[in-house]
């Protein structure tokens, strides 16, 4: 038996045979051509086929992992259509009279080198995307398959690295877990694994000799066992059976209250990134939506979404939730979420740059358009508005003045709107420290623990080199959360958590002790968290 320790990016246990997934080696030869026109046509045809394949992948991913996670394929399409990328390929073919395959490979190498040496983690990640799209085009030019066949039996996929396109193309009925050497807990492939609810490990040096061998992926402890001893195998089979029984037990919790053994009640809401997630919200019995990430409306189009386009989406969500609370976070764009048409420009430190409410308060027309759409939709359900990235009372005052202006404009036009609660996200240490002052200005707090952890610990959460010290359980983070809840209650407003810590069941009891009023988690985590709440004294 061999035992390897890696980093878990999704819990659970998988038992089965390993399938070593090897990328086909792209043997790109440099050859001169006298027919430049034909080579350019070959490239354009291959590019269009690649775009068609990526469009199909996007549609497949939307059904399987939701629109937010599928967005990477739209990014790949945009990269294929990028002028700089295409100009480089055309230039090599035309000026050097070389074959299309070599032109694509050379451009890919140059762009990969450029992006991978950048300090910004967002742009570093684009290096792998360039590699992925270029390999696809080269395969098409060479007549090779661009699929990801893993055979007909359920397997644990082992690979040096997996591109999102490869993961999505794999048969989900056959993929029971994966293990990779390269990757980070914030990579697109890691996110897809969590969305598909399959155990996954990274940071393990995989070997082709493992192909076909029996293995165990222990996603709970980050361990891979190759050809496990009989006693170990039986032990994990028992653990796996217990996990499956636990999942069945969780289904019995649907319709139950989120109340502790001592009678303490807490609201349990869902975080969603698109209207396609609504079915999962209903299936998992969420009490409401604690975070609707409205930026999907801006990321999935090539223009600023109009008031009417936004209104129809917010109205659909409000009507679907049938009176349950729907908290819409206003535009949270910037940092790792960029849209070309806003021309935000490159920043040395985008996580702390021109983003979220800072954009809204300087480009007020964009903000007003969204507020009008939300307020109009509030006539059709129980909608609240939440503002991200707040650092001062002055910002809240500006926001409230703009909201009143929007209400006045709607009233003048005779357009109905409902009464909406207005809250802010506490995701900066500044907001946490002055939460006693902020609590006097708003109706609720929602603590965004992902960014609060990042800013409190001075750790870029996109930087995989810092994974070992990125500790969301850090006492400084927990003390700030407790301070925020305490200050909220002093002013008679409620405080919830909408970051990933809300779904961390090792902290549920502590959050209850702090008096947290609401937890907002991904839909699949509603019932597991409810189970812990109901078992807490």
Q: Residue 252 is encoded by which pair of tokens?
A: 């019995």
d(CA 369, CA 234): 59
Token pair of 219, please? 């996603």
Q: Is 188 a catalytic site residue? A: yes
CA–CA dist 224, 218 (Å, integer): 6
Q: How many CB atoms lie within 10 A of CB 277?
A: 22
- Phi, psi (degrees; rounded to nearest 5) at 347: -125, 145
Sheet strand arrangement including 214-218: 2-5, 223-226, 214-218, 13-20, 155-159, 175-180, 200-202, 7-10
470 to 160, 182, 456, 467: CA distances (angstroms)? 24, 19, 11, 5
Which residue in the list 76, 90, 188, 360 is annotated as catalytic?
Answer: 188
The catalytic residue among 76, 90, 360, 498 is 498
Contact 80, 54 (CB under 8 A): yes
Tokens of 76: 């790949």
**Nearest to 17, CA basis, from 136, 153, 117:** 153
**Closest listed residue to residue 529, CA positions, set 511, 160, 332, 276:** 511
Round to whole Å and give the CA distance between 73 and 53. 10
Can you tell me whether residue 225 is helix, strand or coil? strand
Q: Are 29 and 142 in contact (CB under 8 A)?
A: no
Conformation bin of residue 212: beta by default, left when phi > 0, alpha when psi is -120 to 50: left
Whether residue 360 lies in the annotated active site: no
Cβ atoms of 441 and 423 closer than 8 Å = no
Q: Which residue numbers are catalytic?
A: 188, 498
């Amino acid at each position: 038996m061999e035992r390897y320790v890696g980093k878990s990016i999704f819990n659970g246990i998988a038992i089965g045979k390993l399938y070593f997934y090897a990328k086909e080696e792209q043997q790109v030869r440099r050859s001169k051509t006298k027919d430049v026109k034909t080579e350019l046509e070959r490239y354009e045809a291959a590019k269009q086929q690649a775009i068609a394949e990526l469009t199909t992948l996007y549609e497949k991913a939307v059904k399987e992992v939701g629109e937010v996670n599928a967005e990477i394929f739209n990014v790949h399409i945009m990269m294929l259509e990028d002028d700089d990328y295409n100009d480089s390929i055309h230039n090599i073919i035309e000026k050097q009279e070389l074959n299309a395959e070599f032109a694509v490979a050379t451009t890919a190498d140059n762009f990969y080198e450029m992006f991978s040496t950048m300090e910004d983690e967002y742009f570093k990640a684009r290096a792998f995307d360039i590699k992925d799209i270029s390999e696809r085009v080269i395969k098409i030019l060479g007549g090779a398959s661009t699929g990801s066949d893993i055979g007909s039996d359920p397997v644990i996929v082992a690979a040096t690295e997996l591109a999102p396109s490869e993961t999505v193309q794999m048969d989900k009925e056959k993929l029971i877990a994966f293990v990779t050497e390269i990757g980070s807990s914030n990579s697109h492939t890691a996110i897809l694994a969590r969305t598909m609810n399959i155990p996954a490990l990274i940071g393990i040096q995989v070997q082709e000799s493992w192909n076909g061998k029996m293995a165990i992926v222990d996603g709970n402890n980050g361990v891979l066992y190759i050809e496990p001893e009989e006693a170990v195998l039986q032990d994990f089979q028992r653990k796996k059976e217990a996990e499956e029984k636990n999942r069945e037990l969780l289904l019995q919790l649907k319709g139950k209250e989120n109340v502790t053994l001592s009678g303490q009640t807490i609201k349990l809401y869902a975080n969603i990134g698109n209207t396609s997630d609504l079915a999962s919200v209903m299936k998992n019995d969420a009490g409401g939506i604690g975070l609707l990430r409205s930026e999907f409306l801006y990321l999935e189009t090539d223009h600023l979404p109009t008031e009417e386009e936004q209104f129809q989406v917010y109205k659909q969500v409000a009507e679907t939730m049938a009176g349950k609370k729907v908290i819409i976070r206003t535009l949270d764009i910037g940092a790792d979420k960029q849209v070309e048409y806003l021309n935000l420009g490159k920043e040395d430190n985008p996580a702390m740059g021109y983003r979220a409410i800072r954009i809204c308060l300087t480009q007020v027309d964009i903000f007003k358009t969204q507020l009008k759409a939300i307020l109009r939709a509030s006539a059709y359900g129980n909608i609240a508005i939440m503002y991200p990235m707040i650092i001062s009372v002055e910002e809240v005052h500006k926001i409230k003045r703009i909201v009143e202006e929007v209400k006045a404009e709607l009233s003048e036009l005779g357009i109905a709107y409902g009464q909406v609660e207005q809250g802010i996200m506490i995701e900066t240490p500044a907001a946490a420290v002055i939460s006693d002052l902020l609590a006097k200005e708003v109706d609720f707090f929602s603590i965004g623990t992902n960014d609060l952890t990042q800013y409190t610990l001075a750790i870029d959460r996109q930087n995989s080199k810092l994974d070992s010290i990125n500790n969301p359980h850090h006492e400084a983070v927990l003390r700030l959360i407790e301070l925020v809840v305490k200050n909220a209650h002093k002013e008679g407003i409620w405080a919830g958590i909408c970051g990933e810590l809300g779904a961390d069941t090792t902290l549920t009891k502590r959050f209850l002790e702090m008096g947290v009023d609401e937890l907002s988690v991904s839909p699949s985590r509603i019932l597991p968290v409810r189970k812990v709440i109901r078992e807490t004294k």
